[in-house]
Amino acid sequence: MKSFQQRIEQYAALAVEVGVNVQPGQTLCIITTISTAPFVREVVKHAYKIGAKYVHVDWSDENIVRTRAELASEEGLAHYPDWHAKGRVEMADAGAAFLWVVAENPDLLKGIDAARIASISKAQQTALQPFRQYTLNNKVAWSIVAVPSPEWANKVFPDLEADTRVDALWEAIFSATRVNDEDPVGSWRSHAESLSSKASWLNERKFKELRYRAPGTDLTIGLPEGAIWTNAGKRNESGNPFIPNMPTEEVFTSPHREKVNGTVSSSKPLSYNGNLIDNFSITFKDGRIVDFQAEKAYDALKQLIETDDGSHYLGEIALVPHRSPISNTDLIFYNTLFDENAACHLAIGFAFPFCLEGGLEMSKEQLKEKGLNDSLTHVDFMIGREELEVDGITEDGRAEAIFRNGNWAF
C-alpha cells in the first residue's frame, strides 16, 4: 500500500507529466489559492526535477475574494487589471504551460448579491478573453487538478467526524484520478485510448443530431456539419500531448448553436461563482434558452444565462457513462471538475473550434456561420442519470443507440 506522501508525489507528477506535460526548458504557470500551498510545493519540485526553466505561481486568497465581493464599489467590481491579463498572454506567447490547482469552497460567496458576483465574473472573463484563445485553441498545454479544502470536504462528507473529512476527500480524489493504481501514468494512457475509441465510433457515424430522454428531460440537439467528437487528450501547437481535465471520463463535441430544442433537467448541483444551483431545468427553442427554473440559487442561474447573448446558447455536449470511477464513489463532489465526469453534461457558453473540421483555422465569424457559439463564459451542468437514453440520428433518419440505462450502448 502506497503511503499518503507517495500518493501526493504521484499526483503532483501526474499533473506535471500527464496533465500539462511540462517539457525541459519550459515555463510553468500555476494558478491557484494559498490553501493549496503544500501540494503546489510538490508540483513545483517535480516540475524543476524534470527540467522546467521557471515555475511561476499566481496566488489568490479566497477570504480576500469574498471581501472584495462584499465591500468593493460598483466601479471596483467591474475592474480587472490590464497588467494581469497581459502577463498571461506574454507567458502564453513564450510557450508556457498553465496548470490550475483548485480547492473548491462551494459556499464561498453564499449570501452575496448575484449581480455583484456577475460584475466581477464578467470583468474577468472580458479581460482574459485574449488569453483564453490560447487555451480554447490548444495553442498552449493546460490542465486543471483539484485538492481538498476543509470547506469542500465538509460539504462532501458532512456525516463523517470533522477531523477525518479532508483525508476522506483526498482518498476520493486519489481514486478518481487513478493515483491508487500501480502505474498511474500507464493507467491514464490506457484510459485515454479507451475514450479515443468511443470518439472514433461517434465520428464514423456522422450523426446529424442527438436525442436525450430521461425523467424531466426531452431534448434534441443538432450538430454542425463537420462536427468532431473528441476526448480529453489534446496536443498543443508544438505537438506535445496534454490532458486538460484530471479526472476525465468524457467524449464531447460542440452543438449547432441554433439546433437545440426541448427541456433538460439537472441531475447534480452546479457550483457556480460560490453558489450552489440545484434542481433546475432549462428549455430551449431553436438553440436559445427561453425558460429556466431552479429550486435553489435561481438568481445565480439567471446571472449566468444573462452574461451575454452567447450565454443563452450551448457550446458543448459531453457523453459520460453513469458507471465510472467517479460515479462509483456515489458522491456529489459539489465541484464541476469531478461532477461533470460522473455524468453526461452540457455547457452554456462558448463552443470549441477544435470540435469542427478546419475550425482552428477559422475566424470567429466563420465559426458562427458554421453554427458554433461564442460567449464570454463556458459553464458545464450535469444532466446524466441512470435512466438516461441517448440516440444518434443519421442523415437518413435512422436512430442508433448511444446510451441505454445511463451507460454506453456499444
Where residue 25 sits, what CATH number does that domain have?
A: 3.40.1830.10
**pLDDT recorded at residue 192:** 85
Residue 185 counted as domain residue? no
CA gap 350, 310 in Å, rounded: 7
What does the pLDDT average to over 30-58? 98
Are residue 164 and residue 218 in the same domain, yes or no? no
Q: How many CB atoms lie within 10 A of CB 25?
A: 10
What is the 3-state secondary structure of the chain?
Answer: CCCHHHHHHHHHHHHHHHHCCCCCCCEEEEEEEHHHHHHHHHHHHHHHHCCCCEEEEEEECHHHHHHHHHHCCHHHHCCCCHHHHHHHHHHHHCCCEEEEEECCCCCCCCCCCHHHHHHHHHHHHHHCHHHHHHHHCCCCCEEEEECCCHHHHHHHCCCCCHHHHHHHHHHHHHHHCCCCCCCHHHHHHHHHHHHHHHHHHHHHHCCCEEEEEECCEEEEEECCCCECCEECCEECCCCCEECCECCCCCEEECCCCCCEEEEEECCCCEEECCEEEEEEEEEEECCEEEEEEEEECHHHHHHHHCCCHHHHCEEEEEECCCCCCCHHHCCCCCCHHHHCCCCCEEEEECCCHHHECCHHHCCHHHHHHHCCCCCCCEEEEECCCCCCEEEEECCCCCEEEEEECCEECC
Residue with cell 457550446: 315
**pLDDT recorded at residue 401:** 98
What is the dihedral sign for C-alpha 118, 119, 124, 127?
A: positive
Are residue 142 and residue 211 in the same domain, yes or no? no
* Cα three-residue angle 123-363-340, rounded to 5 degrees: 55
CA gap 356, 338 in Å, rounded: 26
Residue with cell 469542427: 356
CA gap 102, 94 in Å, rounded: 24
Confidence of residue 325 (pLDDT cuts 50, 70, 90): confident
Are residue 200 and residue 171 in the same domain, yes or no? no
**pLDDT recorded at residue 62:** 94
Are residue 165 and residue 224 in the same domain, yes or no? no
Residue 121 counted as domain residue? yes
Residue 61 counted as domain residue? yes
What does the pLDDT average to over 308-324? 95
Are residue 19 and residue 133 in the same domain, yes or no? yes
Instruction: Tell which residue, 124, 32, 31, 30, has the closest CA to residue 69.
Output: 124
Residue 71 counted as domain residue? yes
Is the pLDDT reported for residue 134 higher than 80? yes
**pLDDT recorded at residue 381:** 97
Are residue 133 and residue 196 in the same domain, yes or no? no
**pLDDT recorded at residue 397:** 95
Residue 184 counted as domain residue? no
Residue 181 counted as domain residue? no
Cell of 218: 426531452
What does the pLDDT average to over 260-272? 96
With contact defined as beta carbons under 8 Å apart, do 59 and 33 qualify?
A: yes
Residue 78 counted as domain residue? yes
Are residue 271 and residue 396 in the same domain, yes or no? yes
Are residue 203 and residue 303 in the same domain, yes or no? yes
What does the pLDDT average to over 14-21? 95
Domain that holds residue 303: 192-230+248-408
**pLDDT recorded at residue 218:** 98
Cell of 22: 511540462
More confident residue, 327 or 253: 253
CA gap 59, 56 in Å, rounded: 9
**pLDDT recorded at residue 205:** 96
78 alpha carbon, distance to own chain's centre: 25
**pLDDT recorded at residue 232:** 78
Percent of the chain topping pLDDT 70: 100
Of 147, 176, 205, the position where a domain reaches its end is: 176
Is the pLDDT reported for residue 1 higher than 80? no
Are residue 308 and residue 343 in the same domain, yes or no? yes
CA gap 357, 377 in Å, rounded: 23
Quote the mean pLDDT of the chain. Answer: 95
Amino acid at 334: Y
CA gap 17, 39 in Å, rounded: 15
CA gap 35, 66 in Å, rounded: 15
With contact defined as beta carbons under 8 Å apart, do 170 and 103 qualify?
A: no
Residue 189 burial (10 A CB sphere; 0-12, 13-18, 19+): middle
**pLDDT recorded at residue 126:** 96
**pLDDT recorded at residue 189:** 82
What does the pLDDT average to over 60-78? 97
Residue 329 counted as domain residue? yes
Q: Is the peptide bond before 247 cis (omega within 30 degrees of 0)?
A: yes
More confident residue, 40 or 231: 40
What does the pLDDT average to over 327-350? 91
Are residue 205 and residue 160 in the same domain, yes or no? no
How many structural domains compose the chain?
2
Is the pLDDT reported for residue 354 higher than 90? yes
Is the pLDDT reported for residue 122 higher than 90? yes
Are residue 144 and residue 263 in the same domain, yes or no? no
For 81-94, what is each residue's pLDDT tens digit? 999 999 999 999 99
Are residue 172 and residue 207 in the same domain, yes or no? no
